[in-house]
Structure formats: C-alpha cells, structure tokens
Amino acid sequence: MSPPRRFPAEQFLNRELSLLAFNQRVIAQAADGRVPLLERLRFLCIVSSNLDEFFEIRVAGLKEQLKLGSHAAGADGMPPLEVFRRVTEQAHQLIGEQYALLNDEILPALEKEGIAFFRRSLWTNEQRAWIRGYFHKEVMPVLTPIGLDPSHPFPRVLNKSLNFAVELEGTDAFGRSSGAAIVQAPRALPRVIRLPKELCGVDYGFVFLSSVLHEYVDELFTGMHVLGCYQFRVTRNSDLFVDDEEVKNLRIALQGELPQRHFGDAVRLEVADNCSEIMTDFLLQQFGLERSDLYRVPGIVNLVRLMSVPDRVDRPDLMYAPFQPGLPKVLTKRYDIFASIRKHDILMHHPFQSFTPVIQLLQQAADDPQVVAIKMTVYRTGTDSVLMEHLLRAAEKGKEVTVVVELMARFDEEANLSIAARLEQVGAHVVYGVVGYKTHAKMLMVLRREDQGYRRYIHLGTGNYHPRTTRFYTDFGLLTANPEIGEDVNEVFKQLTGLGKAGALKHLWQAPFSLHSKMLAAIQAEIEAARAGKSARIIAKMNSLLEPEIITALYEASQAGVKIDLIVRGVCSLRPGVKGLSENIRVRSVIGRFLEHHRIFYFHAGGQQNIYLSSSDWMERNFFRRIEICFPVLEPKLKQRVLKEGLKPYLADNCQAWEMDSSGEYRIKPTKRPRISAQERLLKDMGVSVVSVT
C-alpha cells in the first residue's frame, strides 16, 4: 500500500476553527432583527447545543492528544497545542457574544412582548410567596445536599448536569464544619418554571430553577450560614470507545460502555460569573481542569434549557409562520404508492414536500399481502417513530423484515438499542452492519410479488428516516422501481447482512469501496474537458468538506479553468479565491430557518449534467470509515428539479449565503439587488401552504 499523500499545509483550513466559525454564523441569525424574536432565542439555544457536542467530542479529542504528548499536525499543519489554544480563545469570545446578545437584546425584547424572566432581586412579595411554596412542594423533596467532608467526598457529577456549589459557615448537629457542599439538581426538575399569569403583570412570566435554588438554598442547611451559592456545569468527554478488534458482540459491548459516557474526563467547566475565586479554583481542582477550561457566564449555565420556551408561549407572531408541506404532483390524489412508483421515479424535497409518502410506502408494504420482504437501514429515527411501528407490524404479519441498525450513531445509541430490541421481539432480523464501519447509508427496499415476478421498490435519501427532522432539515428522497438500482441496493444489503466480496454496482457509488475514486474520476473528467477547451462545471452541496485528496483535485480543477461552486453549510477546509490555486472556486454557506442537509453533486460531464445525491459528505470518515451510498438522478425532468430547487436558489441567495474568502473568513456581501433567500423562495415557488398568523 502506498503511503498517504501529503499536501502543503497552507492549502487547508483547520477543522475545529471552521466549526466554531459555523456557530458564529448561527449566532448571526440570532442577532438578525428580521428573524422572528422567539426564533432568535432558538438559534442561541442551537449554538449552545452545538458547543456542547463540540466540547464533548472535538475538544475532548484535542485534550486526549495533549495528554498523550502528541505533536502530530493535521492537514492544516497546526499541532494539537496550537489548535487547542486558538479554539479556547475563539470559544470564549463566541460564548461572550452569545450571552451579551441574550442579556442585552433578546431578553429585553421578549419582556417588551410580554414574555419576562424574573430575577430574584425583582420578585414581588406575591411572586416570592408562590415561588417559595413551589420550592417546598416540588423542589426540596427531591434534593440531596452533600456536605463535603472525609465521609462525603466530592460526588460524581453527571455530564452537563446542573449543580450548585455552596460555601457555608458554622457547624452542624454533628459538629462538622467542612465549609462546602454540593447540591445536584435532579434532571426531572424543569429548569424554566412558569409563574401564574395573575402574579406577573405580563402574559408569560418565568423564573429559572437556578434562581429558586439560590433564593432558598439556606433551608437545605439548617443552622448554617450560607456565604455563597454558585451554579456550575461540567462537560465531559462523551466519545464512546469500542475496540473493533476485541469486540465479540457489538450490542453488549455498547451497553456496557454507554453508562460511562456520563462520567468521562472533564473538558470544560461553566460557572456563574458571581462564583468566588476560592470556589472556582476548588472546582477546577476537583475536575482536573486548567483556567483555560473555565467559562464564566453572566446567566444560567445551560442555555439549551431555553429551547422549550418558544413552545410554551402562544405567540405565533414571534415565530416563523407554520406551513403545510406539499406532495409531488403524481401523489396529490388518492393513490396506490406501488403503482405510482412503477409509473416513474418520484423525487421528494423535504421539508417543502412531505415525508408522508415514505411512511405510506412502509404502511402499505406492511398491509399488502403481495409484499414478502422489507429491508431498511436505521441511523437516526427517533424513539417514537411511526416508521418503526409499521416495521413491527410487518414482522408480526410474517413478512421478512431486515433492519440494519447503526448502534454507534452518536447520541442515538440508546434509542437504537431500544429499537433493535423491539424489532427482535417480533421476529425481525436485526443486524448491526460491519464492525469498524458506521452504516450511514439511507436505504429502504420493499420486495413485492407481482405477475411478472418479484419487483423491488426503493427509497434512497440524503437524510435520516426521522419524521420529525424532515420538517426542518432540507433533504432529497428518491422513490424508484428501476430494476438496476434495485439490484445495486440489494447488493449493498447483502454486504451488510452476510459475508462475501463486494460486487460491482451499476449505478450506485459506495463507500468505502468506490465512492472516493468515483468522485475523483468525475472531477478529473471536468479537468480534462477544461484543458481541451470544452465546457466544464462542478457544483457541490454538502455539510462538510475536509478530505485532502478531494480538495487537492478541486484545486487542480480550478487551475485548469473549471468553474466550481461549493455550498458547504458547516466545516470547510478548502481555501477559495487564492491566486494561482483556487481562483475559480467559490465557497458559500447558507444559514436560515431550515438546516441545510442535502448532499448534491453536479458535474457538467460534456453536457450530460450528471447529478448525484448522497448520504455522504466529503470527509475522510465518510469515504473510508462509513458505509455510504451516492445515487444518480436518472430522469431528465428530475435532474432539472434538483438543479432548480437544490442548487440554483442557493447560488442566487444574497441574504443568508455567507461567502468565504481565502483566509477562511465568512461575510454576507452587501447588495443593492432585491433580497433573495433560497429557503423563502422554495417555500413560495413549491406551492407550500404557509399558514397566516395575522
């Protein structure tokens, strides 16, 4: 095997810093006064959720490298210590901006709209009486204060849980005077508590659980004097480790590993900004952290908890207008899903078009006596998925149901274990793919007995089989009865459930076998066309772009004169617009109401306009450590739809599209042209029914 190619470090941007830059763009949505107010709050919460995972996985990985003394640099040439230093600096800055926006703009604006969060210092006597009653009835009975002394060591603190460090003075009934205690807030307690309207003077009044505990914490320590009470939260390494070489049963190994996720090594400590230096140093020492790992925040230490507020407030005028997704024209009347698919391929564009046809395909397959088998991959689907209910019913009716469940889908492991157990109980075949390779491909195959023999009905998608996320993730799904695509999908399922060499596929590109080489070949074909003086064009839309060989091929294509547009929502290591290297490459990131999630790859291909849809980003893990598929759009009308709906609006967007410059900085370029938002245009042009809130 030839050694991996090395490329000049200056040609690549750092992954972690690029990920923080993405969250900076999300914060800009929260700062945008044109965005409905409660949605601005939601964007701030999304940033906090993103940062939690960033610390749990990416920063945790950096700290592991530092612990091992690694000096190995990534493709960008930056050693781990320098990456950690810059990440820490930018993360502190970003979190500072986040809280400033919350405290100085969003909360005051919400209060003007009759949605108030009451501070302890401003509680009225009536509010105080109600809150105290709530504390005694709902909060105090479930609290377990832990005084710190030789028989009560510092407790094991759950990952991302809300806790309070209490400084005390005096002695208790046993003569103990440790001076400190820890109070852990049970996860069953709501973090945001709504007050009765008659006590608020506004339509919606809330208090934080942290404020309630601060106010009445002294009642937990009878006869002691509370000197200070400080909320804190620790973030831990949450990356699961399962030894691919030693594991004998993946499910059992994972079940043994999951409980430890809550107690991995600490990577970040968040404390309220009023926390004393003595207590701060004590907490850092307990968690084995340095000052650089400390994040002082002016407010609650977990903004994710505010995510529930928009759903608890009946103010549709402060949220995005609800809409009713449409259906492809062929499915707008009462229909037989199998007959519709036999007639021609059906392309669905979520969330502008409903995910219902996929659900109905499974529903009709479960009830149709002609259907003999169903096979499906599950990466993320939710714990209460209607899709799973149809699969369970199909298995109960005696159909051959095979489900490839990816147990290592990060943060969905427990849900997927539960799904696997339920399916096995009703006789479905449940397999866990291939150890060492995550099954990330999105495939559903229904085998039906018909007059001419067996026919396969296929659904392939760019997103998960998760009915909830299809309402706010942009994705494409294809329904087809094309026999050659059906053979390809069947071949991939054979690999996942059985043993044997990978067979040649007619249409699908598959990782880890052909996807990388096919992508490189498609780029190379555009290079050769450009060098021959012919038209050459590449447009690619994805979540992340990191793989060095693909990036290098794109640089070569740019130098050959290929015009390249990259629409990369999140992390991008490629530098566009560098003279002599990437002058013909433009990179943009669209951030808006919906999470941009489709992966679309367009190659001019001498006028054939080859278009592929995929579950895969252009990342090393997707190409080499995952089972992914990339499938062609074959029907000309559907190709034009992908261009019209999935690419051209995003290239025309001038208000939510951030352009990247050669240094890696993103900006929305000012323009005097009429405002164009890709997502708003698609809502309008695709005939989606937007519900009026006026």
Question: Catalytic residues, which ones?
Answer: 440
Q: Is 350 helix (H, G, I), strand (E, B) or coil?
A: strand
Give the pair of three-digit tokens for residue 684.
């309008």
- Helix H segments across 446-586? 483-497, 515-531, 548-560
* Spatial distance between the Cα atoms of 679 and 474, rounded to a whole number of angstroms: 9
322: exposed, middle or buried (C-beta count within 10 Å: 0-12, 13-18, 19+)? exposed
For β-strands 400-405 and 429-431, DSSP reports them as parallel
Beta pairing class for 400-405 and 371-378: parallel
Compute the distance between CA of residue 478 and CA of residue 471 in angstroms, rounded to an integer. Answer: 17
CA 284 – CA 268 distance, rounded (Å): 9
3-state helix, strand, coil in the chain (%, to 5): 40, 25, 35
* Residues whose CB falls within 8 Å of the CB of residue 323, separated by 6 or more in sequence, listed in order: 683, 688, 689, 690, 691
C-alpha to C-alpha distance for 289 and 291, rounded to whole angstroms? 7
Q: Are 502 and 629 in contact (CB under 8 A)?
A: no
Residue with tokens 């037989």: 336
Q: What are phi and psi of 32, to 5 degrees?
A: -80, 115
Closest CA to 473 of 348, 572, 361: 348
**Are β-strands 585-590 and 657-660 bridged in parallel, bridged antiparallel, or unpaired?**
antiparallel
- Both tokens assigned to 318: 């402060």
CA pair distance 674, 488, nearest whole angstrom: 45
479 sits in which H/E element: strand 473-480
Calculate the CA 160 to chain-centre distance.
18
Which residues, at least 6 apart from 302, have a Cβ–Cβ distance to it below 8 Å? 48, 160, 162, 191, 233, 270
Q: For residues 610 and 616, give the distance between their C-alpha atoms in angstroms, rounded to a whole number.
A: 17
Instruction: Please spell the DSSP secondary structure of 199-220, one letter per residue.
Output: GTSSSEEEEEHHHHHHHHGGGG
Helical segments of 102-239, H only: 107-112, 125-134, 209-216
CA-atom Rg of the chain in angstroms:
27
Quote the CA–CA distance of 589 and 567 in Å, as a whole number: 6
Asked whether 361 and 346 are in contact (CB, 8 A), the reply is no
Contact status, residue 456 vs residue 489, Cβ threshold 8 Å: yes
Query: Which amino acid, residue 58?
Result: R
CB 548 within 8 Å of CB 75:
yes
Q: State the Cα–Cα distance between residues 131 and 211, nearest whole angstrom.
A: 10
Q: What is the maximal distance between C-alpha atoms in the chain?
A: 90
Given a contact cutoff of 8 angstroms between Cβ atoms, the answer to whether 513 and 622 are in contact is: no
